[in-house]
Amino acid sequence: MLPAQRQSQLRELLAQLGMADVDTLAAELQVSPSTVRRDLERLEQEQLISRTHGGAVWVGDRDNVARPYGFDQRVDFEAAAKQQIATVAAELVKPGETILLDGGTTTYHLARQLVGRSLQIITNSLPIAELFVNDEHVELFVTGGVLYPRYGVLLGPIADRTLQDVHANTLFLSVAGIRDGSLYNQNLLLVEAERRMIQQAQRVVLVADSTKFGQTALAQLGAISEIDVVVTDSRIAGKTLDELKTAGCQVLVAQV
């Protein structure tokens, strides 16, 4: 990771948490504590943080921290690839199954193809839930929780407790990046919810267009080896395809 990218992630991490110790920051960024301390010195010079014993407190303007694009901005990005991926992923769904849909834009395209099917659907995504409001064939469960408008998802303790009490045949998961065998997403609370979803599903299907590979984001979700099936598009590099198979993933490729 380039220093500028690491420091940008550190800014966003501290802005979200408010305060954190060096060891926590080092673990999240996957760098050494000494690297974090050097970056914190720079942020202190920029008057964005106040150093504490063993950590830092964010004192900068949170509105000026770079944030990922919102749901409405992202849903049309790579839309053709996402639609083709959704078509392939939808073939994995059998009538009467219980499906857990993570709150991403690719899973949103998948949800549109599931309208009218006889299913139980669990989701923490309000845009996805809205698709099934008038669908008499779907039994819909919404997790509850605190709404994060930028993502259109419900997160926090209430959502986590709901997820602990459900079990799904298949989880369809969406992430911000996949790199060096690890999965990443943009929000720490979102990652916590997704980790719980993975625990509650018999099978985990990652739906990710080819632009997600080689990318990282703020928080590490887990290892690609935790994924049973990866559905991506035909622009994926051959080397990446081999790495996924070596990790034990079944790979389904949608033609784009």
Bridge partners of 99, per DSSP, are 121, 170
**Rounded to an integer, what is the distance from CA 194 to the centroid of its chain?**
7
Domain locations along the chain: 3-64, 71-254
| pLDDT confidence bin for 66, thresholds 50/70/90 | very low
- Its CATH architecture, for the domain 71-254, is 3-Layer(aba) Sandwich (3.40)
Kindly report the CATH number that applies to the domain delimited by 3-64.
1.10.10.10
Of the segments 65-74, 146-155, 199-208, which one has the largest average pLDDT value?
A: 199-208
Query: Which helix (H) or strand (E) covers residue 38, if one does?
Result: helix 33-45
What is the 8-class DSSP label of residue 68? Answer: P
Q: Are 250 and 229 within 8 A, CB to CB?
A: yes
The token pair at 122 is: 């669990």
The pTM of the full predicted model, rounded to 2 decimals, is 0.74
The answer, yes or no, to whether residue 232 has pLDDT greater than 90, is: yes
CATH topology agreement for domains 3-64 and 71-254: no
Task: Report, as an integer, the average pLDDT of 192-197.
Answer: 94
